[in-house]
Amino acid sequence: MTTEKENKSCQLLSAKELAKMLSLSKRQIHRLNSCHRLPAPQDTDQDGMDDKWEKQNQLNPKDPADRNGDRNNDGYTNLEEYINSITSI
């Protein structure tokens, strides 16, 4: 059973309210919302990095263990670098 207070915290926010809370512009919120409608890219080994990006970065799209590697020895894992590459807002 949920209380009325809990129900209020689960209300959906408008783009304007969300933008104000996150200090983002309406354009940035629109781009975030648009991402939800895009089909997920192919990720054969399900390591979180899409096949195309893995091939472009000399990784193996059939080996999920390479997500924890650090191909360029900069201290960031391959998965962290992939996530950074797709979250440029």
Q: Which string of DSSP letters, residue by residue, matches 49-88? A: S-HHHHHHTT--TT-GGGGG--TT-SSS-HHHHHHHHH--
Q: Is 53 in the site for Ca ion (CB under 5 A)?
A: no
Which residue lies nearer to Ca ion by CB, 19 or 49?
Answer: 49
Handedness of CA 44, 46, 50, 55 (dihedral sign): negative
Return the range that interacts with Ca ion (CB under 5 A); candidates 6-14, 15-23, 28-36, 58-66.
Answer: 58-66
Which residue lies nearer to Ca ion by CB, 29 or 66?
Answer: 66
19, 29, 47, 82: which one binds Ca ion (CB under 5 A)? 47
